[in-house]
């Protein structure tokens, strides 16, 4: 029998303190998504990739609305169905948008962002340098109390599947819209939960950075 090779990690660097904001709006109403925009699904699949270099340009509200609707928005208003699947429609995963002006929870039925914490907590969403300067860090939070009717041994698995589906929706939207994104699992769960002002039954399990691609300046030799 061969021995299992274990992964080794260096100690995690300390995250910087969050900065309170006084200009964070309580609610951000998002424009409805343009479902005719972007490239074809097959082209988006062809170009989908992880990127860790981002420009610090702000995203427009139209782009922000498109990202969040693609993530887990309502695509069947008659039934409340979402763009991402959820076992038994428990909808246990909430999408948080961590912006420079504050931490917001995405209200899918209202297609709007609701302020949760008026701080710039982007640098608390992971240990990589780019998370603190990219315009948007999404955090996928599992509300465990919504899974009480599910067998305990299934809760973590199905919640992870839902979060994975949401993150892939965002990745495909970014590929279609020419944006950069990367999904990140290297997070300090307790620190991030505090930064997002989460309740005891809420657990952040995944993060995803989104922004415009960094521009690489090149010069031609004379």
Residue 153, domain extent:
27-211
What is each CA distance from 154 to 14, 29, 35, 38, in whole angstroms?
33, 35, 34, 36
CATH code of 114's domain: 3.40.109.10
Top-confidence residue, 35 or 4: 35
Report how far apart the first and last C-alpha atoms of the chain are (Å, whole number): 62
Tokens of 157: 């698995």
Residues 34-91 have pLDDT tens digits of: 999 999 999 999 999 999 999 989 999 999 999 999 999 999 999 999 999 998 889 9
Number of folded domains in the chain? Answer: 1
Encoded tokens for 17: 């303190």
Is residue 221 included in any domain, yes or no?
no
pLDDT at 198 over 80: yes
d(CA 56, CA 9): 29
pLDDT at 19: 67
Q: What is the arithmetic mean of pLDDT over 109-127?
A: 93
Q: Does some domain include residue 197?
A: yes
What pLDDT, on the 0 to 100 scale, is given for residue 24? 85
């Amino acid at each position: 029998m061969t021995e299992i090779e274990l992964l080794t990690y260096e100690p995690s660097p300390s995250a910087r303190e969050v900065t309170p904001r006084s200009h964070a709006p309580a609610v951000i109403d998002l424009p409805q998504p343009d479902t005719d925009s972007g490239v074809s699904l097959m082209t988006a699949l062809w170009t989908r990739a992880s990127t860790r270099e981002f420009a610090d340009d702000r995203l427009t509200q139209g782009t922000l609305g498109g990202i969040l609707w693609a993530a887990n928005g309502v695509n069947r208003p008659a039934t409340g169905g979402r763009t991402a699947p959820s076992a038994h429609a428990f909808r246990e995963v909430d999408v948080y948008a961590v912006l420079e002006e504050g931490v917001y929870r995405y209200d899918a039925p209202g297609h709007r962002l609701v302020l949760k914490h008026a701080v710039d907590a982007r640098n608390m969403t992971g240990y990589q340098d780019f998370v603190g300067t990219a315009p948007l860090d999404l955090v996928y939070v599992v509300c465990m109390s919504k899974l009480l009717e599910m067998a305990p041994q299934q809760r973590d698995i199905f919640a992870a599947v839902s979060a994975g589906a949401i993150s892939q929706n965002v990745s495909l939207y970014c590929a279609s819209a020419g944006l950069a994104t990367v999904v990140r699992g290297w997070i300090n769960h307790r620190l991030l939960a505090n930064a997002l002002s989460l309740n005891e039954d809420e657990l952040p399990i995944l993060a995803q950075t989104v922004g415009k691609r960094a521009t690489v300046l090149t010069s031609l030799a004379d």
